[in-house]
Amino acid sequence: MTKKTTILIIAVICLASFFLISYQAKGLISFAKIDFSNLISPFQYLKNFFSEVLDLKEENKKLKEQLYQMILQQKSYYELIEENKRLKGLLNLKEKKKEVITIAKVTRTGSNKFLKTFWIDKGYDQGIKAGMPVITLNGLAGKIIFTSSNFSEVLSLTDPNFSVSVRVERTRVEGVVSGTGTNLCVLKYIPLEEDIVVGDILITSGTDGIFPEGIKVGVIRKVERKKGFFQNIEVIPYQSDSKIEDVAIIKSLI
Amino acid sequence: MKSILKWSIFIFFTFFVEQIFIIDGINFNFSFLLIYLFVIHYFFPDIEQKKIAPSEFLPILFFITIGLIEDLFQGVIGPAIISKTLTGYLLILLIKQLFFHWTELFKAIIICIFTIIDEIIYSFIMIYFFNINIGYFMLLKVSFIKGLLNIPFGLILSWRKP
């Protein structure tokens, strides 16, 4: 094969690939993704099983303590919930329910080249769809970006491509939280004149049409008021990426 | 036939390892090592198999296949086909047109630089077409780390070759 033929073949392949990529980028075509999750899941389960057995005793003790505390708090919460319902009924406010689709276990870290992802052991057979929010007991963890029959890939909250519409709990100011690729997030689009202080709690506002309102997202870590229109705000997520074990997948608003 | 089976198992094992092992959010680029090893074995065969002028068709077909498999794992077909084909062809050009003594240091430099080239081509395609949000400094850093990680594995696998 001559050098010219080789170059011609490479040029044709590159051109065809570019067309294919541009069609995929526009969402006109999509291809199935291969994942080894089914293949490696027995090993992962075995590993998780042993680590769980070791943690079980300690966890049981902690849970018993928590249970007693919960029972003590329960009574007062019931009263508050009832009171809240009555007041909301008076105001004609519809309560948006957070419907849990399923609970899943984190099986492994994602191997996506650019996105910070992790895999969970539930897929579309359990009712999971792309775009659904993923939460933990601590707060928001991410959203589903890919599903197979029994596994799903979750885009982490700290990925730069992740965004969620939030509200500052104290002042009710709305902004957008995005990941940074590190363990921190940033709060965007908060005007300079808004009162934001370190320690303010961020919850989802529900205005993005994906995440239901009221889910805890993070706490303000650092506030900088420099030149420009908006403040530079760092956020510590409630749910650290490295400590996610169990997650709940909830129904998105769309 | 035996050679095809050997390479198929090697490819499967490489991608399996690439998908499973992730260090601090950075995955390996072992698929480039497949290309490097194939080029080394193809253009510097054992003495009894030595060809006078080996064709470039088979290596290019191999690069496309490796790129396609990698793309299938990422869910986007195309970027790795381009990056692997271009990087592989650059490697062929270097091997065919430059005559030098293949020391271990030279092999290490080749593995590192070409892994970085492969990563950068792939990343730029993804950033351009999919507006992936990633800092350029971070991209260079990650590519360099992947290049460094490939060196020991590449050197072990191509020990005393060519």
| B137 SS3 class | helix
Residue A23: pLDDT over 80: yes
Q: Are residues A203 and A80 in the same domain?
A: no
What integer pLDDT is reported at residue A4 of this predicted model?
84
Which of the pair, A17 or A32, is modelled with greater confidence?
A: A17
Q: Are residues A148 and A69 in the same domain?
A: no
Written as one string, the DSSP assignment of chain A is --HHHHHHHHHHHHHHHHHHHHHHHTTS--------HHHHHHHHHHHHHHHHHHHHHHHHHHHHHHHHHHHHHHHHHHHHHHHHHHHHHHHTPPPPP--EEEEEEEEEE---SSS-EEEES--GGGT--TT-EEE-SSSEEEEEEEE-SS-EEEEETTSTT-EEEEEETTT--EEEEEE-SSS-EEEE--BTTS---TT-EEEE-STTSSSPTT-EEEEEEEEE--SSSB-EEEEEESS-GGG--EEEEE----
What integer pLDDT is reported at residue B106 of this predicted model?
87
pLDDT, tens digit, 9 for 90 and up, residues A191-239:
888 888 999 999 998 888 888 888 889 999 999 887 778 888 999 999 8
Fold of B2-157: Arp2/3 complex 21 kDa subunit ARPC3 (1.10.1760)
Q: Are residues A117 and A224 in the same domain?
A: yes
pLDDT, tens digit, 9 for 90 and up, residues A151-166:
899 999 998 889 999 9
Closest listed residue to residue A141, CA positions, set A247, A15, A54: A247
Residue from the list B19, B60, B134 with its beta carbon closest to the beta carbon of A10: B60
In a domain, A159, yes or no: yes
Q: Are residues A223 and A115 in the same domain?
A: yes
pLDDT, tens digit, 9 for 90 and up, residues A109-139:
887 778 888 889 888 888 899 889 999 888 8
Name the DSSP letter for residue B24.
T
Is B20's CB within 8 Å of A111's CB?
Answer: yes
Which of the pair, A1 or A69, is modelled with greater confidence?
A: A69
Is B25's CB within 8 Å of A116's CB?
Answer: yes
Please list the ranges in chain B whose pLDDT falls under 70: 46-53, 98-100, 162
pLDDT, tens digit, 9 for 90 and up, residues B94-110:
888 766 677 888 889 99
Give contacts of B57 with chain A, Cβ < 8 Å: 1, 6, 9
Residue A144: pLDDT over 90: yes
Give contacts of B18 with chain A, Cβ < 8 Å: 111
What integer pLDDT is reported at residue B29 of this predicted model?
87
Q: What is the domain-level CATH number for residue A116?
A: 2.40.10.340
| Structure ipTM | 0.86
User: What's the number of domains chain A is made of?
Assistant: 2
Q: Are residues A122 and A78 in the same domain?
A: no
- Residue A230 lies in domain: 100-254
Is B56's CB within 8 Å of A6's CB?
Answer: yes
Give the count of Cβ contacts less than 8 A between chain A and B: 95
User: Are B94 and B110 spatial neighbours (Cβ–Cβ below 8 Å)?
Assistant: yes
Name the DSSP letter for residue A242.
G
Residue that is last in its domain, among A36, A67, A95 = A95
In a domain, A38, yes or no: no
Is A13's CB within 8 Å of B64's CB?
Answer: yes
Residue from the list B60, B81, B133 with its beta carbon closest to the beta carbon of A9: B60
Q: Are residues A86 and A208 in the same domain?
A: no
Work out the minimum CA distance from A1 to partner chain B, whole angstroms.
6
